[in-house]
Amino acid sequence: MEKDQHTHIVKYKTYVYVLIALLFMTFVSVIVTEIDLGPYTVTMALLLASIKSLLVLLIFMHLKFDKKFYGIMVASVFLLLACVIVITFMDYLYR
């Protein structure tokens, strides 16, 4: 185990703000599915889900306070996921 590990303490207020933001975005995503936006319904739902997962990764999983290498790895996974989703939508649109 490394001897020079640094700990960080996140205030409870930050967790409460993130919880409120997550609940608000969940409420918005439910409302968006009820409104007919055509092809933008799925896009909006995926965008909100991505923002929510980013909040969870940064705050609850403490990625914000970890080494930059972990952030780069997570960003590369998100980039790969975005590429797969875009390719899937392109395949669906041009069939």
- Statement: residue 3 has pLDDT above 70: no
**Tokens standing for residue 7:** 């700990």
Global pTM exceeds 0.75: no
d(CA 2, CA 14): 28
- Residue 32 and residue 45 in contact, taking contact as beta carbons nearer than 8 Å: yes
d(CA 14, CA 23): 14
- Residue 78 and residue 58 in contact, taking contact as beta carbons nearer than 8 Å: no
- Residue 25 and residue 52 in contact, taking contact as beta carbons nearer than 8 Å: yes
pLDDT in tens, 62-81: 888 788 888 889 889 889 98
